[in-house]
Amino acid sequence: MSRHTRARGLTLIELMIAMTIGLVLVSGAFKVYMDSSKTYGIHETQARLEENARYAYSVLEPDLRMAGYWGYAKGLSGILGTTPQTDPPATTLSGTASSSCGGNFGTDLATPIEGSNDSYTLGCSAYKGRSMPSADTITVRRAALLPTSVPASAVGPLRICSTRTSVALVNTVTACQADQSPAQNSAGTIHDLVVHSYYVARDSSTATGVPTLWRKSLNNVGTVPTFQDEEILAGVEDLQVQLGIDYTGTTGIVQQYVDPLAAGGLPAGVQIVALRLWILVRSDSLEMGFTDNRTYAYGNRATSNGTVHDLTAAGTAGMAYQPNDHYRRLLITRTVMIRNVLGT
C-alpha cells in the first residue's frame, strides 16, 4: 500500500499568533524609531541653540574687548575733537547725525563703554520702536582694528587719527595727515570710528514677535555719519550686562560688578575693566510635548523680586523668568576683560 504525505497549512490560531507577534515587533520598531527621531530633534535643537549663542558672543566679545582702543596712542588723558554727552551737541565735525541717538552720543570718546539697566534709553528708536522692556543695552566706542587707506582729498565720515603721542577725532584726511607729523616724527595711522550699541528688540527683520539681538551702528559710509540698525541674531530673548569696576582706576582688577550705567554714571577715576554678559537664546519653533518650566535667574533677575512669564510685558525688571511655554532655551554667560584699560 502506498504512503501519501498530506500537506498541512497553518491553523487560524497559529496565524493569529504569528500576526500578533509581528505586530508587537513592528510596534516596538516604530517606537524605537519615534524615540530616536525625538531624541535627534532635541539634540538638533540644543546644538542649534549652542551654535546661535556662540555666534552672538563671536560678535560681542571682540567688539567689547577692544573698547577704548585708539590705535598707536596709549594712556591718553584726552582725545582732540571729542565732545562729552553732557555738553551741547557739537556740529563742527559730524553735523547732527552723530547726535541722533542722544546729544554727542557718537562723539563722546571719553566714554568707551556705557549701558542702560533693564531699559532701552537711547535717543533713537529701537527696531520698529519695539525694544524688549527689561533687557539691558551696552555701547562700545573705539577705533577700527585695521587702519584705513583713503586719498588725501577725502572728506567725510568720522575717523580716528592716532600717533604715539596723540589721538584726534577728524572728518577730513587733511587734518589727520597734519596730525601725523609730531615733533617726534613718529608716523600715525587713520582708523574708522566704531560706535556700536547692542540691544534686544521684540521682532526680527523677517518675523514679528521673534525676539532678536540688534545693534545700532554708526555708519561711516558717505560724508555724514548716521546710526543704522543691524540685525545680529534672531531668537535672543534677553541680554543682561554687569560692569566690572576698579574703583582705584590703577590696578585693572575687578573689585565689584555693578549694573550698567550711562555716561557720567561712575565717579571720576573709576575704570571699567571687565564686562559680564548673559544671553538667553530661544529655539526657532515650538516643541509639542515639551514645556519649559525652568526658572531663569541671572544678572539682576532674582526670584526674590518675583517671577514673570512674559519678558515683553512692562514691569518685568529684575524679576526671574519662568516662561512655561513650548520653546527650548539656553542661557550662556561670559566674562569679557577689557584690553585697553589703564592705557595698556
Taking residues 102-112, what's their average pLDDT? 89
- Reply yes or no on whether the pLDDT at 341 is more than 80: no
**Taking a C-beta distance cutoff of 8 angstroms, is the pair 63, 333 a contact?**
no
Q: What is the pLDDT of residues 271-288, one digit of tens each?
A: 999 999 999 999 999 998
Supply 259's cell numbers.
Answer: 549694573
Higher pLDDT among residues 252 and 6, named by residue: 252
Higher pLDDT among residues 111 and 249, named by residue: 111
What is the average pLDDT score of the chain? 86
Is 344 in a helix, a strand, or coil? coil
Supply 265's cell numbers.
Answer: 554714571
- Reply yes or no on whether the pLDDT at 180 is more than 50: no
The set of residues, in sequence order, having a beta carbon less than 8 Å from that of 239 and lying 6+ positions away, is: 135, 136, 137, 138, 198, 199, 200, 213, 277, 278, 279, 280
Q: What is the pLDDT of residues 246-275, one digit of tens each?
A: 998 888 899 999 999 888 788 888 899 999
- Reply yes or no on whether the pLDDT at 344 is more than 50: no
Q: Say how far apart CA 117 and CA 135 lie, in whole Å.
A: 7
Taking residues 215-244, what's their average pLDDT? 88
- The pLDDT assigned to 75 comes to 63
**Taking a C-beta distance cutoff of 8 angstroms, is the pair 186, 163 a contact?**
yes
Band of residue 183 on the pLDDT scale cut at 50, 70, 90: very low
Q: Which of 98, 230, 238 is nearest to 171 (CA)?
A: 98
Supply 117's cell numbers.
Answer: 539697566
- Reply yes or no on whether the pLDDT at 221 is more than 60: yes
- The pLDDT assigned to 225 comes to 73
Higher pLDDT among residues 138 and 14, named by residue: 138
C-alpha distances (whole Å) from 86 to each of 40, 108, 262 are 55, 9, 11
**Taking a C-beta distance cutoff of 8 angstroms, is the pair 238, 202 a contact?**
no
- The pLDDT assigned to 32 comes to 76
- The pLDDT assigned to 184 comes to 43
- Reply yes or no on whether the pLDDT at 43 is more than 60: yes
- CA-only gyration radius of the chain, Å: 29
Higher pLDDT among residues 307 and 13, named by residue: 307
C-alpha distances (whole Å) from 114 to each of 62, 244, 268, 277 are 16, 12, 14, 14
What DSSP string describes 202-259? S--SS-TT--EEEEEEEE-SSSS-EEEEEEEEETEEEEEEEEEEESSSSS----EEE-
Band of residue 6 on the pLDDT scale cut at 50, 70, 90: low
Higher pLDDT among residues 92 and 53, named by residue: 53
- The pLDDT assigned to 86 comes to 84
E strand or H helix at 184, and its extent? none
Q: What is the pLDDT of residues 146-178, one digit of tens each?
A: 888 777 777 767 888 888 778 888 877 776 765
Q: Which segment of 3-17, 132-146, 299-313 scores lowest on mean pLDDT?
A: 3-17
E strand or H helix at 169, and its extent? strand 167-172
- The pLDDT assigned to 342 comes to 60
Higher pLDDT among residues 225 and 54, named by residue: 54
- Reply yes or no on whether the pLDDT at 201 is more than 60: yes
